Amino acid sequence: MNKTTKSSATPSQLQDCNCLAMRQAARHVTQFYDQCLAPTGLRTTQFSILAKLQRLGPLSINALASALVMDRTTLGRTMLPLERDGLIAVDGAASDRRSKELRLTAAGAGRLRAARKLWNEAQQRFEAAFGTRRASTLRAELRAVVASELPTASAC
């Protein structure tokens, strides 16, 4: 018995895919920021890790992954070059030695300072191209998306 599954979505509806639009925009903006940060040897995701650790202090891998809205496996791959280059340190947590805690090193703070200058330039260039008010509204809307309660996959 051969079952053929037909999609109920029309091509025009597929063009309105929220996920695709956000992922395309994220890739476009990430490529721009990565190019701007390239002289520091950091990618945007690595910059974000260093900045979060500077702002929040030492964090467990799970806490950092949650703060970045990133899965633990992806965070693990992204942080390896940072650890290798001495920009972050992975230590046993003071409260539980079995748990690992990430912290920004002095070298990491120095690299973040250098990268922050280029990041500020990227921010200004993005806002000049996209518009300051639109960029502010976009950030607010994206934060609302992150904070929203989406149904679980079983509800789809």
pLDDT of res. 60: 92
8-35 per-residue burial string, b: 16 or more CB within 10 A, e: under 16:
eeeeeeeeeeeeeeeeeeeeeeeeebbe
Q: Are the CB atoms for 28 and 34 separated by under 8 Å?
A: no
Residue with tokens 């910059």: 47
Give the pLDDT confidence score for residue 92 in this predicted structure: 80
Confidence at residue 8, expressed as pLDDT on a 0 to 100 scale: 66
Nearest alpha carbon to residue 60 among 72, 50, 51, 42: 72
pLDDT of residue 16: 87
Domain regions of the chain by residue span: 20-146
What is the fold of 20-146? Arc Repressor Mutant, subunit A (1.10.10)
Mean pLDDT, consecutive 10-residue stretches, the chain (156 aa), reads 57 81 96 98 97 96 94 93 97 74 97 98 97 97 92 72
Q: What is the pLDDT of residue 150?
A: 84
CA distance 90 to 151: 34
d(CA 96, CA 99): 6
